[in-house]
Structure 1
């Protein structure tokens, strides 16, 4: 089975795919944020930043102590002092930093780049003498090798056993307190021995904020929980989104599909779609489109019926004069007509040929006007002067026919873009309509009046008028004032042709329902005027 390459999957799957791409990007961004927060937390809780400090030791070696970024590297409570060879302070970054350290005190200060664990154990020996055992374990950063050292003191702090390389003979209370409270203090100390560019030895003692191991563990644990929750939470959000989207999108789409199926079956369409604005608008537009198509189909059927009726009318109208001409001509050829009656028969044949010619000309003209390529050839004329000239040539014909005409044309120039020959046909058809359907002595009326940017042309008479049953369809082809087609006058195309011509000029023609006083029939034409 061939697949339609135009189809790219269902609308729902399209939205879900785009949502997945978008949410994946959001998820990736969240993961990056978590990683960054984790890194920042690690930096915040990680205590002394040995590697970073060593990047800035050149300031210390050059003696530019003020440039050393102690607040960044050591924390807000951090500070440092520089001691010379005699352990005398030569620089102090903050006033609350101790100004002097003894050699013994510095012995218990951790070296920069070394991890140190130190503790003091109080116990009694076999002779019940109080003893203090100081244990220290050193590990160089970046290695797993450690060094364990011991220092045994009596209760007065005198050194009894020295496996630590301690140079003093006694550990005073200050040094002992430092060892005991070292794990509890919020700040810690570290030392770094260096030489300046002249080769002189110095010792830098750094005070830094101690790493809060408990808070750091809590922080890392919470970050792991967040990381593990993101994926299932993401999957849950996608599932909820898919279900909800399926409900919100599929329902209006199915309603639209039902409307299409109903239209295909010829059933009546409902306009009760609900849902997102776009779907409701699409549903409404489809219903309107279906209604317009139905109306168009109805108009097409009516047009087909009219064409069928027109063909029947044309056939009838042509058949009658042709039958008479054919019958009379055969009678003369067969010699059945007396000599004294031949002239009368020939005269009848001649008049019927004129009627037939008029019918053919009318049919041809109407057909030309119906053609989609028909366009009037317009020229700019003074419509008032044009009407006067036309009526001047028509006047004698009307008087000889026994009709009178009253004319009201303003004495002004009114320019219009018209097809001179076609507008003349409109005047001819309307006036001839009055002449053909009224008795001698009928008064015809022709007037013009400018209204804003239009010209109103009124043509009527005070004759018998148009029956009410014909008034609604007077501009339709083959409509005449006599029910019997055999006895009617004209082709029934005159007013239909006039309407086509006026509409081709973007104008309007109508049969006035209530004619002005003194008239029984009145046609009004509105056409656009042109700038002078």
Structure 2
């Protein structure tokens, strides 16, 4: 079975695919945020920030102690003192910071950049003597090498065994309490020995808030829960979003599909689509398109009927003179016509051939105007002078025919772009229409009037007028009165040809419903004037 390569899957799958890509980007951003929060939490609970402290030690080396950002690096409870080589305080950042440290006390203060685990173990030896074993494990930050040290004391604090490098011979109670309570204190101490710009050895003792392991553990647990909840929550949101969007989008699409099916079956289309604006507009546009197609189909049917009627009218108008010509010619050939009547018969044949030729020429001209490629060959002319010249040549013909004409053409220059031959045909057809359908003595009327950037041409007469039943369709082809058709006057194409020519000039022609006073029939033509 061949598949349609244009189809890229259902709309639901398209939504899911695109939303997955979008959500993946959002999910990645969320994960990055979680990582940043973890890092910030770790920094918040991580205690002493050794690397950051070392970035600002130049202030200490230069003696600019006030510039050292202790609150940022050591915490709100943090502070520091600077001791000289005799361990005498020369600077104190906060008043609650101890002012004096002995060399023995400093021995148990952790060095900056070293991780330290220290504890005191109380026990009795084999002689039941009270002993204190101090164990210290030191690890340099960034390495995995551990250094274990021991210090054995008796119950009075006298050093019995020294594997720590302790310089004193006795550990007093204050120093022992520092070791025992070190893990319980909310603050810790660290030392850093340095030389100033003059080469003197100083010691900085930092007090900092120690790492709150319990809070940090709680924080990390909560972040793990958040991380694990993100994925199922994300999947749930995708599912809900896809189903909801599919429902909202599928409904107007199904309505559009139903409209298409109804159109295919020839049923009436409804315009009750609802949903997103774009889909409603698509549905409305389709209904409008279907209506236009239906109207176009209706016009096509009417056009076909008009063509059928046209062919019927043509055949009727051609059949009558051809029948007469054939009958008279046959009578003459068979010798059944008396010699004195033969000239009359030949005269009739001649007149009918003229009528037939006029009909064929009119139909040929109308067919040429109907052709899509027809374009008038326009030239710039003075329409007033053009009209005067035409009427001058037409005047004698009208007078000899027994008709009078009244002319009102302004004595001014009005430029128009016209096809001089085609426009002459318009004037000819309108005037001949009045001559053919009126008696001798009828007054014809021709006038011109400029209105803004248009020229209004009025052609009419005071004759019998046009019947009401024909007034609405006088410009349709082959429309003539019954009397005219019976008398074989006209082809019914004259006004249709005039209308085609005027419209080809982007003009308008109409039969005036209420002619001006003194006229029974009036045609008006509006055409655009040209700039001088």
Over 3 Å counting, the alpha-carbon distance change for 1:197 and 1:407 in structure 2 is: closer
Report deviation, 1:174.
3.8
Report deviation, 1:224.
0.9
After superposition, give the CA deviation of every residue in 1:484-504 in whole Å (9 maximum; x if it has no partner): 844341100000000000000
**Distance (Å, rounded) in 1 between the aligned partners of 2:142 and 2:480:** 114
Report what 1:464 is aligned to.
Answer: 464
Report deviation, 1:171.
3.9
After superposition, give the CA deviation of every residue in 1:247-301 in whole Å (9 maximum; x if it has no partner): 1000000000000111111111000000000000000000000000010011111
Report what 2:53 is aligned to.
Answer: 53
Contact persistence 1:437–1:481 (CA under 8 A): no
Single out whichever of 356-365 and 53-62 deviates more from structure 2. 53-62
SS of residue matched to 1:484: helix
Matched pairs, number: 532
Report deviation, 1:130.
9.1
After superposition, give the CA deviation of every residue in 1:292-326 in whole Å (9 maximum; x if it has no partner): 00100111111111111111211221221122112
Report what 1:140 is aligned to.
Answer: 140
Contact persistence 1:45–1:212 (CA under 8 A): yes
**Distance (Å, rounded) in 2 between the aligned partners of 1:97 and 1:179:** 18
Report deviation, 1:367.
0.5
After superposition, give the CA deviation of every residue in 1:154-204 in whole Å (9 maximum; x if it has no partner): 787666776755443444454344334433433211124467899875544
Contact persistence 1:107–1:166 (CA under 8 A): yes
**Distance (Å, rounded) in 2 between the aligned partners of 1:303 and 1:77:** 98
After superposition, give the CA deviation of every residue in 1:23-63 in whole Å (9 maximum; x if it has no partner): 11111011011111111211221112345556776887788
**Distance (Å, rounded) in 1 between the aligned partners of 2:31 and 2:320:** 95
Backbone CA RMSD of aligned residues: 3.1
**Distance (Å, rounded) in 1 between the aligned partners of 2:373 and 2:406:** 38
Contact persistence 2:484–2:490 (CA under 8 A): no
Single out whichever of 151-160 and 519-528 deviates more from structure 2. 151-160
Report deviation, 1:80.
4.0
SS of residue matched to 2:188: strand
**Distance (Å, rounded) in 2 between the aligned partners of 1:170 and 1:330:** 162
Single out whichever of 299-308 and 204-213 deviates more from structure 2. 204-213
Report what 2:221 is aligned to.
Answer: 221
Contact persistence 1:481–1:488 (CA under 8 A): no
**Distance (Å, rounded) in 2 between the aligned partners of 1:391 and 1:481:** 27
Contact persistence 1:132–1:152 (CA under 8 A): yes
Unaligned runs of 5+ in 2: none
Report deviation, 1:110.
1.7
**Distance (Å, rounded) in 1 between the aligned partners of 2:522 and 2:51:** 108
**Distance (Å, rounded) in 2 between the aligned partners of 1:341 and 1:214:** 138
Unaligned runs of 5+ in 1: none
**Distance (Å, rounded) in 2 between the aligned partners of 1:468 and 1:459:** 19
Normalising by structure 2, we get a TM-score of 0.90
Report deviation, 1:365.
0.5
Report what 2:414 is aligned to.
Answer: 414
SS of residue matched to 1:105: helix
**Distance (Å, rounded) in 1 between the aligned partners of 2:427 and 2:395:** 13
Single out whichever of 368-377 and 165-174 deviates more from structure 2. 165-174
Over 3 Å counting, the alpha-carbon distance change for 1:484 and 1:411 in structure 2 is: closer
Contact persistence 1:120–1:132 (CA under 8 A): yes
Report deviation, 1:333.
1.8
After superposition, give the CA deviation of every residue in 1:97-145 in whole Å (9 maximum; x if it has no partner): 4443211111221233433334557899999999877554545545667
Single out whichever of 151-160 and 322-331 deviates more from structure 2. 151-160
Contact persistence 2:11–2:246 (CA under 8 A): no
Contact persistence 1:366–1:493 (CA under 8 A): yes
Normalising by structure 1, we get a TM-score of 0.90
Residue pairs, 1:292-371, within 5 angstroms: 292-371=292-371
Contact persistence 2:15–2:242 (CA under 8 A): no
